[in-house]
């Protein structure tokens, strides 16, 4: 059995539709043994590629368990070891948490803001006859919000590149022309801290008097 699936999965390898069903030896069993769910510490040391592979293993396992649960319900039988579904869903939820942690770290580093909150799992209100319609409207709104967030991210990334370019231009001028009027340079680059920049060793070069 694959290492990434060895902790709690119970499905066996199949290349046909039987992949959506449990191992035949578990048919009619009162209890099916399974391991524990993945912990956050175990998932944090995995690469993004490994997390993606593990996600699809868990997704396949969850679909298989849902299929078996449905069949047992149709046959008026008890689904053996239903805690297997909870273990799979706990592992998937923790993977999403790890992915959000990494995404948040990227946003903090590149943009200086927290990443958008991950999607929340919603359940339809059984007493609301328009629940399905409302859910569809919210889904469209979320897609638009996602496009807006992507646009905002690209704009901030562009602003950072422009700011870095201005800093480099100002630093180059200070290095080439140490007697340059600092007030005029500050007026040309209002978003750059010239007073701080002129003390940078890369801008001073061999002209120490341009820090006066």
The pLDDT, as a whole number, for residue 58 is: 92
| Per-residue DSSP letter, 177 | -
The domain segmentation of the chain, as residue ranges, is 16-111, 130-203
- The whole-angstrom distance between residue 22's C-alpha and the CA centroid of its chain comes to 31
Give the model confidence (pLDDT) of 21-62 as tens digits. 777 676 766 777 888 899 999 999 999 999 999 999 999 889
Report d(CA 139, CA 48) in Å as an integer: 27
The pLDDT, as a whole number, for residue 177 is: 80
Report d(CA 162, CA 158) in Å as an integer: 6
- Tell me the CA end-to-end span of the chain in Å, nearest whole number: 70
The pLDDT, as a whole number, for residue 13 is: 55
The pLDDT, as a whole number, for residue 98 is: 92
The pLDDT, as a whole number, for residue 3 is: 40
Give the model confidence (pLDDT) of 133-146 as tens digits. 556 556 555 555 56
The pLDDT, as a whole number, for residue 54 is: 94
The pLDDT, as a whole number, for residue 9 is: 53
The pLDDT, as a whole number, for residue 142 is: 54
Whose CA is closest to 33, among 80, 99, 86? 80
Ranges of residues in the chain with a pLDDT under 70 are 1-17, 24, 26, 28-29, 118-150, 152, 198, 201-212
The pLDDT, as a whole number, for residue 211 is: 45
Report d(CA 160, CA 210) in Å as an integer: 27
The average confidence (pLDDT) of the chain is: 75
The pLDDT, as a whole number, for residue 209 is: 47
């Amino acid at each position: 059995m694959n290492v990434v699936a060895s902790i709690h999965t119970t499905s066996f390898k199949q290349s046909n539709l039987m992949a959506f069903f449990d191992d035949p030896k578990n048919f009619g069993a009162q209890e099916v043994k399974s391991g524990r769910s993945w912990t956050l510490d175990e998932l944090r040391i995995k690469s993004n590629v490994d997390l993606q592979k593990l996600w699809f293993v868990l997704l396949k396992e969850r679909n298989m368990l849902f299929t078996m649960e449905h069949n047992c319900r149709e046959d008026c039988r008890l689904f053996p070891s239903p805690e297997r579904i909870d273990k799979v869903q706990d592992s998937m939820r923790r993977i999403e948490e790890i992915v959000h942690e990494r995404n948040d770290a990227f946003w903090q580093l590149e943009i200086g803001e927290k990443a958008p909150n991950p999607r929340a799992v919603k359940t339809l209100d059984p007493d609301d006859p328009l629940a399905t319609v409302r859910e569809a409207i919210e889904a469209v709104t979320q897609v638009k919000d996602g496009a807006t967030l992507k646009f905002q991210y690209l704009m901030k990334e562009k602003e950072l590149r422009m700011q870095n370019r201005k800093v480099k231009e100002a630093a180059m001028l200070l290095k080439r022309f140490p007697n340059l009027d600092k007030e005029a340079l500050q007026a040309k680059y209002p978003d750059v801290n010239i007073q701080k920049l002129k003390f940078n060793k890369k801008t001073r070069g061999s002209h120490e008097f341009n820090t006066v």
